[in-house]
Structure 1
Amino acid sequence: MKFTKMHGLGNDFVIVNDEQVPHNIHELAEQICDRHFGVGADGLVYILPSQQADVKMRIFNADGTEAEQCGNAIRCVAKYVYDHQLTNKRQLEIETAVSVQRVVLTVEDNKVSTVQVDMGAPILQGTQIPTVIQSDVVKQHPIEIEGTTFHFTAVSMGNPHCVIFVDDAVNTDLHAWGPKIEKHSYFPNKINVEFVTAVSPQHLDMRVWERGVGPTLACGTGACATLVAAVLNGKADRSATVSLAGGDLYIKWNEADDHVYMTGAATEVYTGVWA
């Protein structure tokens, strides 16, 4: 099986271009993503034919579970499709498990340098995210973990996010809090957890515990959810830079169409064969 290793700000993926996913896809994702006995990645991504878009993307986490959406992976897929000459279009549509998303490519020296993704409108209604909380907007809701109370804002960008504002996101102990919040009874499908510090209305620091993976260097949907949560809580403008451990993403929550737009880089590392 031929593959290409790619990353979006250090959030890394094994990319496979094929006609269909294999029958043992969940086991394969665990094996190939293992950083000691496999290639090593946060997820396994298949680029597949689509009947309603230019290509279809399916992503499987390092624990074998399938994710609905991934902002960093979709940038990698867009770059792969153009750089490997599967298309010469600079505006693409990519089908995911939850929607068809439009991407705009910036090309330099015949290679994609940055990708803007229309991530769609955020979902804010509590049970649709999903959470068990019956509320139109889940904002600053208390959650107690081993005697410590946090306050979270819940947002779905096609996958669920729990955004918690703290004084120092960069030094938050993700291993201490991430897995406990991810699996809390508030969240029936588990949840991605973002710890965020509002440096200014145009700059947010974010660190993430990804559902089914653990700490990652970047999370595109998490950065989008972070900006939405920051706007809802009066901590940011509708356009801001979100700084992650692996680098920066530029996020805009457009008032005209309610869609969130994410712009950032994607990088190809190497190609190989999985025996």
Structure 2
Amino acid sequence: MRFAFDKMHGLGNDFVIVDARRQPVAIDAARARAVADRHRGIGCDQLILIEASGEADLRMRIWNADGGEVEQCGNALRCVAALTGATRIETAGGLVAAEQGGGGITIDMGAPRFEWDAIPLAYPLDTAPLPLGWDGLAGGHALSVGNPHIVFFVPDLAAVPLDRIGPVIETDPVFPKRINVNVAEVTGPAALRLSVWERGAGLTRACGTGACATAVAAIRQGLVSGPVEVRLPGGPLVIDWTPGGTIRMTGPATHVFAGEAEWEAFA
């Protein structure tokens, strides 16, 4: 069976998007890993499946490159909105709204959650800051923006070996669903620089939910005021949040190419 797909990226965070509304396909962890493989597959950070939804324009499902299905992906939301024109998208992390404008795609990510069991943690702990540390990184702020994040603010982002510390924090037993690890440096009154170790994908050029979580944590601590420009290795996103409100993320979505492949090649 041949299937059609679109290759897209948001600031270098890249996706293979399959529209299963046209042609049903079955995804499991092994197949997701095979599609994501950059040497033997199509290659991507995440595999995105579009399905019909009874409560929104469509449903979006997300598999990381390691084959794990996850709840939310901000960059993929922008890409799916740009590809399909959808304005309401159902995800495992909740319903989100999308708007298209001259400045890019804006996604209303919903309200952040700060309760220990909403992130989740394995047991009750203060989440802002979390009273834990890993190899010099301490005082992290844990929150959920549809998926779990921990955010650390440091004076020198370049001095943090996130490629080494990231996987240790991601898989710590205190995070039963693992966690995305964000390390940020405040560079201005409304500006941050950010690196992200993404759960199931590793170091990434951009993470939309990571930018949202980091901006929220920084605004909550009074380190910056919104809207905040969050600069990732792949480029900037603009995040706006007022305490008590929802998070709005604005950034680009780029279509790279459309293609077809043999489904059996990824068995």
Say yes or no: TM over 0.5.
yes
CA distance in 2, matches of 1:12, 1:104: 21
1:39 counterpart SS class: coil
Q: 1:221 to 1:24 in 2, by over 3 A?
A: closer
- Does residue 151 of the first structure (1) align with residue 154 of the second (2)? no
Residue 265 of structure 1 and its aligned partner are, at CA, apart by 0.4
Q: 1:149 to 1:50 in 2, by over 3 A?
A: closer
State the percentage of identical aligned residues. 43
Give the aligned partner of residue 265 of structure 2. Answer: none
Contact map agreement 2:137 2:152 (CA 8 A) in 1: no
Q: 2:247 aligns with which of 248, 252, 260?
A: 260
Give the aligned partner of residue 13 of structure 1. Answer: 15
Contact map agreement 1:254 1:261 (CA 8 A) in 2: no
Q: Deviations over 1:78-105 (max 9, x none)?
A: 01103xxxx7xxxx11111121111111
- Letter paired with 1:167: P
1:119 counterpart SS class: strand
Residue 150 of structure 1 and its aligned partner are, at CA, apart by 2.1
Aligned positions of 1:61-76 closer than 5 A: 61-76=64-79
Aligned positions of 1:46-61 closer than 5 A: 46-61=49-64
- Letter paired with 2:96: Q
Q: 1:196 aligns with which of 160, 167, 184?
A: 184
Q: 1:193 to 1:103 in 2, by over 3 A?
A: same
Structure 1: runs of 5+ lacking an equivalent? 108-112
- Does residue 134 of the first structure (1) align with residue 121 of the second (2)? no
Aligned positions of 1:108-257 closer than 5 A: 114-135=104-125, 138-145=127-134, 147-170=135-158, 172-255=160-243
Structure 2: runs of 5+ lacking an equivalent? 263-267
Q: 1:117 to 1:24 in 2, by over 3 A?
A: closer
- Does residue 104 of the first structure (1) align with residue 99 of the second (2)? yes
CA distance in 2, matches of 1:172, 1:126: 26
Aligned positions of 1:27-42 closer than 5 A: 27-42=30-45
2:215 counterpart SS class: helix
2:81 counterpart SS class: helix
CA distance in 1, matches of 2:4, 2:179: 32
Contact map agreement 1:50 1:56 (CA 8 A) in 2: yes
Residue 27 of structure 1 and its aligned partner are, at CA, apart by 1.4
Residue 24 of structure 1 and its aligned partner are, at CA, apart by 4.1
Deviates more, 1:63-72 or 1:93-102: 93-102
RMSD: 1.7
Q: 1:196 to 1:21 in 2, by over 3 A?
A: farther
Contact map agreement 1:199 1:205 (CA 8 A) in 2: yes
CA distance in 2, matches of 1:186, 1:69: 20
Q: 1:35 to 1:171 in 2, by over 3 A?
A: farther
Contact map agreement 1:170 1:207 (CA 8 A) in 2: no
Runs of 4+ in 1 over 4 A off after TM superposition: none
